[in-house]
Every structure is written in C-alpha cells, then in structure tokens.
Amino acid sequence: MKEPFSVFCSDLVSCFDCVIPAMSNAIGMKKGLQRSIVECRGKTLRQMKRSVRTGFGDSMSYYHQEAEDIPLTGETQGKSDIGSIWTLLSYSILHVHEKHTSARTCLTNIATGHRSARPADAYVDDADIYADGVHIALMDDEEEVDSLRGDLGDDPARMATLLNRSAQIWNNSVSITGDLGEMEIRHPAEMPYDFVLTDHHGQASRIQQSSALHPTRCLGFLFTLDGNQVPEYEYRTEQLAQILHRLSISSLGNEDANHMLRSRVLPSVTYPMSLTSLSKKQCKELTKMIERTILPKMGINACISCPVLYGPPILGGMNYPCIQTIQDRLGIMNIMKHLRHDSEIGTEIRALVSAHQLHSGAISPLLDDPCIIWAPKRQRVGDVSLMEAFCKLPGITPAQLNKANHCRLFLRAITLSDITDMDGECIPWELYLSGRDRLDSPLTWPRQPQPTAAMWVVFRRLIRQVFFTGHNFYSIERALQTGIWNLPSVDSGMPQFTPTTRHTGLKTDST
C-alpha cells in the first residue's frame, strides 16, 4: 500500500538566539509563569555582558546594552532557562499549527479503522510538515460495475495546495516568536507546483524543492522518503574509516583498544541503528572494517574462529560485537517500546504491519503475539490461505506468486472460502476467476488495477494445481466441511461454532 505524500522541512537556525524575549515572557505568563520571574529575566537579559569568542580565544573585553541603546533581542543560547522557555514556545507553535491546518499524514489500520493523523513531527528546532491528499475514491473502471468501498486514491494537486497552506501557517506561527528557518519541500518528482511563502511584510519567497530520492540529514540520520539506505550506509562507512584510521596510528594497549571499541567506535556507528535497515552484506562489511583494525590492537588473531569471537562468555566466547546483531536488537527494542506504550508511532506501526499482512495474503500472524497486530482468520472449518497454499507448490517462482497475488488483491480475497460457493465444493469461475466481479469487504484494500489476461491464467492454474483434481473448478479435492462456518455463538439449537471476524461479506444462497 503506497500513498504519495509531500514533506515541508523546516530548520530554525539559531532558534534560541532569535526568540524575542518579550514574546517568550508573554507566552510564559500565559502558561503560568510568575510575574516576578518574568521581571527578573528581563533585568538579567538587559544587564548581561557578552564576550566575543574567536579562533584565538575569548576576548577580555565585553559588550553589553547601555541605557539608551536599542534593546538586544534573543534569549541567548546556553542559558539555563532557555530549554524550558523554548518548550513553552514550541508547544504554542505546534498547537496553533495543528488547530488551523488541514494537511496531515494519515495512516489507517486496514482492519480496525484506527487512524494516526498528525500535521507535523517536530524535535527541538527541526520540523517536518506532511500532506498526503488521500481521499476515498473508486477505480476508473468501477463507476458502473460496483460501488465497493476501500480503494485508496490520491490527488497531487490537492496535496500540493494543502501543503503550501500548512507551510504558510507554520511560517506565520514561527515568525511571531522572532524565528526564521531554512525551508525545503520534498515531494514526488512528477508533481510540478510552485511553493511560495510570504512574510508579515507581504514579501514572497519561493521555497526550494527537491526530489523524495534526495537524502536528508535529520537528528544524525541520513534518510530518503523512499526508504533508500545507501546514503546512510556510505556516510557511516566514511565515518568509520576516519575513526579507524586515527586508531590505527595511535599507541593503544589491549585494554585501551577494547575500551575505545565500546566507548568510541560502536556508539558513533550504531547511533541511528534503531531506525536503519541495512542489509546483511552491508552490516558484514562494517563489521569487517572494525575487525581489521581493532583485533590486532587487542592482541587477537584476525583468523580466530567465529564461534569463539562472537560467542557468549558463558560458553567460552569473547562476546565480540556484531553490527547486524546490534541493528536487530535496537530495532526490535524500538518497535516493541512503541507498541507497548501505545504511542502515536505504535499506532502507525500497527497500521503498516496490518497492511503488510493483508498484502501478503497470509493468515499466520507476522508477529508471535497475534493480539498485537491484526491477522485474518479462517472463515470456516478446513479453510486455508490462498497465498500460503501457493507457496507450498514445488517449483513455484516469485514471478508467479506476484501475478497470483495481483489477482487476489483485485478480488479482495484472502482464503479459499472467500471464492467458493456455500457448500465449499466449487468455485464460480464466471464470477471470481475471470475478473468480472469482486468481493465486498469491510477492510481497507489497496487500489489494485485490473489484472492482465496473463495474470488470470497464472492465478487459475495455481488454484487448479492446489485445490482441484480435474481440469475444471467444480471438484475441490479437499472440500471445505459442508455447511459449517465459523460464526459467533448464538443461544439457539445450532452448534456452537468458533467466533471469528469477517473479512468478506457473508455468502447467501444467491452467491
């Protein structure tokens, strides 16, 4: 499930020095700051004496504000209270922006309908403002065929308009406090649109635009909107090479080398690895670079056995760090932290994993605990997942699975019972295996174009190989148990069946 969206990147340069003290005092009093504290802060700022730091050191002389001078603005970076003051200002800016803007990124859980919608992500002086322009729409060929809900559409023009308006609101809110920022727009390359912001004097400025494939550094992590990890890997490789070069020419003992590995090398390289997804090969290359320099410094043979080098001390190993293991551990801890705390990011993780579960077509939960993430259920006794059954065929290729999954997503089917009749003995070929009809579903399915004729041929062939003995679709080899559906229990004379959640409309006799 891919949804195009744009990002407005704002970096408030020297934000602490640019804050107007009168504005910060007014907001502070609005938040409950006592008047005596505000007056004390004002007198302190007026009587401050500032030295000048140069490449030759700090000056002995200083400059300060005279009685008749123009008041110096800025809260002065480094004061003990500036962190708290900026927190109050940031809260006000974010509150005003969220209240007045309608642009936001919106992730919806395909099963529960829970949404994670917010207009911006902010940390200290960095802010990323989102707009996706997503709306519920039907496919072009569905206007007269059916009115099924659940296809995600997008409107690039609406997305650009909302993002420009949201960026203008953000610029107005920030400028009130005295700050100015470096701003940039990131969006899909195929969206031509001029982003223009105006200041309080009416002066217009055109904002620089860049492709989503261009890497951006934020909080020490180099990332791209398409998830490409190559720029981050190249940066970490160059950084690690510089650190290891300085270590290689230094005189360190065995204990000192081990201490430098734990306190200097690993923290510098693995700092962002709770968010990265470097491949196994990339992690192995980083580990080899460290081994070639650190192991000789520690007095260890470079050809030592891997079980001895990486094994735990309880089994006689040296517990030498592995980059891939560190990345997996930090990533899992970060994901579980958000899931257990039920944070906004945890809600987004649930939505993304649930969408991946739906796209894969598997009914086995992707996580060990099925209570954390949604997973489809068997709809009747003996039911199986279509994609899981296809994967068990000998000689199946990824290309065939992709074509079959394309047809399955178009049908909105997950299990075999979704496309069979009430008795579970045959599949209505003219309905579900020719592309003429689609299932109704309460889930939010991705927008899937009409499969090609070649895709339908592969899909029908795989179904025939897995479930049928003959060349037609009217004799399922292992028929679903007749008449038994996993319906919620009712107080009647009917048998008590296992409760389940429907992912398609209940079949009737006319189906």
**In this structure, are strands 126-131 and 181-187 parallel, antiparallel, or unpaired?**
unpaired
Helix (H) or strand (E) holding 115: strand 115-118
Tokens 């560190």 — which residue? 326
With a CB cutoff of 8 Å and minimum separation 6, the contacts of 395 are none
Q: How far apart are CA 174 and CA 97, in angstroms?
A: 10
| Sequence-ordered alpha helix ranges (H) in 101-191 | 156-176
Among 355, 366, 409, which residue's Cα sits nearest to residue 387? 409
pLDDT at 489: 45
Residue 305: CB atoms within 10 A of its CB come to: 10
Tell me how far the alpha carbon of residue 362 is from its chain's centroid.
22
Q: How far apart are CA 231 and CA 223, in angstroms?
A: 7
Answer yes or no: are the C-beta atoms of 311 and 318 closer than 8 Å.
Answer: yes
pLDDT at 283: 93
pLDDT at 149: 36
Q: How far apart are CA 243 and CA 212, in angstroms?
A: 31
For residue 79, give both structure tokens.
Answer: 């004061």
The answer to whether the pTM exceeds 0.75 is no
pLDDT at 408: 92
**In this structure, are strands 208-211 and 181-187 parallel, antiparallel, or unpaired?**
parallel
DSSP 415: B
Residue 210: strand, helix, or coil: strand
Q: How far apart are CA 232 and CA 323, in angstroms?
A: 14
Sign of CA dihedral 485, 489, 494, 497: positive
Q: How far apart are CA 165 and CA 171, in angstroms?
A: 10
Answer yes or no: are the C-beta atoms of 4 and 75 closer than 8 Å.
Answer: no
Domain boundaries, the chain: 6-212, 230-330, 342-511
Please report, to the nearest 10 degrees, the dihedral formed by the alpha carbons of residues 435, 439, 442, 443 taken in order.
-40
Q: How far apart are CA 80 and CA 78, in angstroms?
A: 6
Give, rounded to a whole angstrom, the gap between the first and last alpha carbons of the chain.
29
| Sequence-ordered alpha helix ranges (H) in 249-322 | 254-260, 266-270, 280-297, 306-310
Answer yes or no: are the C-beta atoms of 169 and 97 closer than 8 Å.
Answer: yes
- Degrees, nearest 5: CA angle 176-179-182: 125
Q: How far apart are CA 463 and CA 420, in angstroms?
A: 12
pLDDT at 284: 92
Among 134, 182, 127, which residue's Cα sits nearest to residue 1? 134
Radius of gyration of the chain (CA): 30
For residue 388, give both structure tokens.
Answer: 């899981």
Answer yes or no: are the C-beta atoms of 463 and 396 closer than 8 Å.
Answer: no
Q: Please give the chain's pLDDT, 511 residues, in tens.
A: 556 677 888 888 777 777 888 888 888 888 888 889 888 888 888 888 878 888 888 888 888 878 777 776 777 777 778 888 888 888 888 888 888 887 676 778 888 888 777 788 887 778 888 877 554 333 333 343 333 333 334 567 777 888 888 888 888 888 877 666 556 666 554 556 778 888 877 888 888 777 777 787 766 778 777 778 899 999 999 999 999 999 888 888 888 888 889 998 999 889 889 888 899 999 999 999 999 999 988 888 878 888 898 888 898 888 889 999 999 999 999 988 988 888 888 888 888 888 999 999 998 888 777 677 888 888 877 788 999 999 999 999 999 999 999 999 999 999 988 888 777 777 777 777 777 778 888 888 888 888 999 999 899 888 888 887 766 555 555 555 544 556 544 444 444 445 677 777 655 544 4
